[in-house]
Amino acid sequence: MTPSDSLAVGLIGAGRIGRIHALNLATRIPQARLAAVADIDLKAAQQVADQCHAPRACREAQELLTDPSIQAVAICSATDTHARLITEAAQAGKHIFCEKPIDFDLARIDRALLAVQEAGVSLQIGFNRRFDRGFRTVRDLVASGKIGKPHLLRITSRDPEPPPIEYVKVSGGIFLDMTIHDFDMARFLVGSEVEEIYAAGGVLVDPAIGRAGDLDTALITLRFANGTLGAIDNSRKAAYGYDQRVEVFGSLGMAATGNETPDRHVHSDAMGVHSPRPLQFFLERYQESYLAEMRSFVECVTAGRPPEVSGLDGRIPVVMGLAARRSVEERRPVRLSEISQPA
C-alpha cells in the first residue's frame, strides 16, 4: 500500500494517550498515516509530529478539520472538548475516533451523536479493553455458549496509584473516569444490557480525594436484562501493581482472565513460591489493545463497516456512571431508566 492509498489521520491532543495513538498510526498500521498533529500546546504537538515524522504540527484543531486531505481524526484532547470536536469533525465530513468519555452530560452527548448520524461518518469510542486478547477471549467463550447461560460476572479493576488531585477534580469522578471502562466491559462480556445498579463507595486511600469530592474505593452490583448478576470492585491504589481481572460464571462452566506480568517466571524456594508483580502502568498493560483498537478503526473506515465500539456504546457507560453516582448519594438501587433511555 502506498502512502496515497492509506487513510490520512489527524491527531488532536498530544498528551499521554495521544502519543500512543500517534506512534501506532505512524509506525504500526500500514493502512494509515499520521498526517498532522494538533494541540493547544504547540511545542507538544511539534514534539509528537517530529517523533512520528508527521509532516505538520499546529495549535488549532480547526486546521485539521478544514484540510480536505485529512480523512479522519483521532480525538485525544481533554474530555470537555470531546463532544464539541466530534460535532465539528462530523460537520467537516471526517471519520472520528474519540477517547472516552464522549462527555459527562447526556444532552451534549446526544447532540454530538446526532451530528455524526446526520453527516454519515464513522465514530468509534476508545474503549480499548474490548480489544485486549484475554478479555476478548472470555467474551468469545461466553458468546459461543461454552459456559452456558451466564449467571455471575466479576470484574476487579484496581490502579497501582491514585491520579493527581488536580486530575481528580476534573475527572468526572471515579464512576465516569475509572469504572466507566468496567461498565463497558460488563456489557461487552455478558452481551446484555444492565438494568439496575447499586453502588457503595468510600475514601480509604487518600483523604484528599474525598476533599476533592470523589471516592477512591467502590463496590458496584449490576442486574442485567438477561438475569445475570454482576459485581465490580475498584480501588485507586493496589500496593502490588495494576490489578485487572474478569470472570464470567455460567451454567456449564466459567471463563476468566487474570493479570499481565513482565514475564512468566516462577521462583520456588524454602520461603515460598514467587512470581513477578502485575504490570505497574496501564499503558504497559494495554499497549497492544491500543494498537488493536486503532487498527480496527482504520479497517472499518476503509472497508465501510460500522465501528466495533459505536457512539451508543460510548453513551451507555456514562448513563451507568451517573446511575452509580446517584446510587451512592441516595443509598439505594438505581434503574438506568431513571437516568435516561438510550438515544
Please determine, for residue 4, whether its predicted confidence score (pLDDT) is greater than 60.
Answer: no
Task: Identify the DSSP state of 223.
Answer: E
Please determine, for residue 1, whether its predicted confidence score (pLDDT) is greater than 60.
Answer: no
- CA 112-283-242 angle, 5° bins: 110
Q: Which residue has the cell 459527562?
A: 104
The average confidence (pLDDT) of the chain is 95
Task: Identify the DSSP state of 216.
Answer: S
Q: What is the mean pLDDT of residues 165-180?
A: 95
DSSP reduced 3-state for 194:
strand
pLDDT of 85? 98
Q: How confident is the model at residue 264 (pLDDT cuts 50, 70, 90)?
A: confident
**Which of 279, 178, 183 has its CA nearest to residue 231?**
183
pLDDT of 341? 57
pLDDT digits (tens, 9 = 90+) for 46-85: 999 999 999 999 999 999 999 999 999 999 999 999 999 9
**Which of 92, 26, 32 has its CA nearest to residue 298?**
32
Q: What is the mean pLDDT of residues 152-174?
A: 95
> Which percentage of the chain shows pLDDT scores above 90?
91
Q: How confident is the model at residue 284 (pLDDT cuts 50, 70, 90)?
A: confident
pLDDT digits (tens, 9 = 90+) for 221-245: 999 999 999 999 999 999 999 999 9
Distance, CA of 256 to CA of 341 (rounded, Å): 31
pLDDT of 247? 98
Q: What is the mean pLDDT of residues 253-277?
A: 91
Q: Which residue has the cell 474519540?
A: 98
Please determine, for residue 169, whether its predicted confidence score (pLDDT) is greater than 60.
Answer: yes
- Measured from the Cβ of residue 197, the count of other Cβ atoms closer than 10 Å reads 29
- C-alpha distances in Å from residue 105, one per residue of 234, 266, 288: 23, 47, 30
pLDDT of 278? 86
- Measured from the Cβ of residue 213, the count of other Cβ atoms closer than 10 Å reads 9
Q: Which domains does the chain have, with CATH numbers?
A: 3-121 (3.40.50.720), 130-285+317-338 (3.30.360.10)
Burial class (CB in 10 A: 0-12, 13-18, 19+), 32: buried
Distance, CA of 278 to CA of 12 (rounded, Å): 31
Q: Is the dihedral of CA 38, 43, 46, 50 positive or negative?
A: negative
Distance, CA of 254 to CA of 256 (rounded, Å): 7
Buried/exposed code over 295-314 (b: 16+ C-beta within 10 A; e: otherwise): bbbbbbbbeeeebbbbbebb
Q: How confident is the model at residue 215 (pLDDT cuts 50, 70, 90)?
A: very high
CB 82 within 8 A of CB 103: yes
**Which of 229, 258, 236 has its CA nearest to residue 175?**
236
pTM here?
A: 0.94
